[in-house]
Amino acid sequence: MLPDPSLAPRRAWRSPWRRSYSRSKLAQCEKDPDYCAKVKKTPPYDKGTRLVDLINMAILDFLMSNMDRHHYETFEKFGNNTFLLHLDNGRAFGRHSRDEPSILAPLQQCCRIRRSTLLRLRLLSLPQFRLSDVMQESLSSDRLTTVAPLLSRAHLAALDRRLGAVLQAVRRCQEQHHRSNEVIYNDITGYD
């Protein structure tokens, strides 16, 4: 669904929080508790919304248990004033019974989240708007559902469990940082 790269060139970026997959040689983000402070000083994460965009991507990856996020892409034309393209989600929704908290490292280490993201996640944690119910309703309109369910009940339940873990991580960040604006990036006009 994306335009041909000849019409809209894209740039691939290595994720600063990519995994090492080695027990003996950990990635810098896996061993340095102040890793986010270094990332914040590095372009393109030192300006604009790129860092909170990356944190949003990590939250999505955690919800769908996608441990394989090495890269993301952007449209070159917009420079750092762009959005992230989340391509290659092939390892998502693998094991429903296991959560991988290291996927949330950008959120946990940077303690930063968009206000709009947090409000949406809180809404999806309410019983009348549960993420699993919203997802099931959305998937029910897909034509592939006539062949077989796209996500099992266990995968849907995992979404709700993981959403709770994300909100708990935000609460821990808020406890660590006493000023709300240190944790919540205000991307909604009209809020202080």
Annotated catalytic residues are 68
32 a known binding residue?
Answer: no
88 a known binding residue?
Answer: yes
Most distant CA pair in the chain: distance in Å? Answer: 51
Contact present, 51 and 13 (Cβ < 8 Å) = no
Query: Can you name the residues that pair with 185 across neighbouring β-strands?
Result: 114
Output the known binding site for Mn(2+): 88
Output the known binding site: 73, 88
Output the known binding site for ATP: 73, 88
